[in-house]
Every structure is written in structure tokens, then in C-alpha cells.
Homo-oligomer: A and B are copies of this chain.
Amino acid sequence: MSVPQTVNLQEKFGLFTDQWSPKVVGELNGQQVKIARIAGEFEWHAHEQEDELFMVVRGKLRLKFRNGEAVVNEGELIVVPRGVEHLPIAETDETWIMMFEPASTLNTGNVTSERTVAELARL
């Protein structure tokens, strides 16, 4: 078996420029580690069967919920439980996020739109 390789997130973020298009940078226990560049507002959605972790690598993520909101700054993380509707927003600058979620998770959850990305690139 080959030696496990270190993943440098800055380097991985440097490999693409498209926004709202998660890339897979790691897999474990049926879960995936994904990274994405985001800017502006996404769309309301929920994941019926999957809890989702967001961690901010650069910038600031605002998550709107139906009953409130949360702000996630660089070095912070948040877990959105399954079934909870959320709207991700990067208001100011482009924001870089890391996600940890089941491999089955679709970026738009229970909503299918032109922003749905079903086949994720692996970096």
C-alpha cells in the first residue's frame, strides 16, 4: 500500500476558479471532503438524509435558516443537520469553504436547478 499523501488546501484551491462547484479532495468512511469557491447567494435547500459540515478556509460564510442565521468566519465550522433548510451566502469577497458530508450529498439537496452539480471533479 502506498503512503497516504498530505493534502494542501491552498494548493487545491489554486487548481480551479469556478464557483459553486464542489471538488472532492478526500474520501473516508463513505464521506467526502469537498472544497468550493463561492460568491454571492446560492439557493434555499435541505438535505433530507445528510448532515453537512461547512468550514471556512478563507473569507466569510453566512448561512440563513428559516428561523435565524449564522456567520462562519475563517477557521470556524458549522454543522447543518439533515432536513434543515439553509441558504449559503458569501456577501463580500469570494469565500473558500471545505465541506464534509456523505458521498451521496448533492450540492442543491432536495432542489434540482441549473446550479446542481451531480458529477464532482476530484483534485
Name A residues whose Cβ lies closer than 8 Å to a Cβ of B: 1, 3-10, 26-29, 31, 33, 50-53, 57, 63, 65, 67-73, 75-81, 84, 100-102
Contacts and interface: CB of A to CB of B under 8 A. Distances in A.
A4 B8 CA distance: 28
A8 B8 CA distance: 21
Contacts of A53: 26, 28, 33
Contacts of A57: 75
Copies of this chain per assembly:
2
Contacts of A71: 6
Contact of A28 (B3, B5, B69, B79): B79
A26 B77 contact: yes
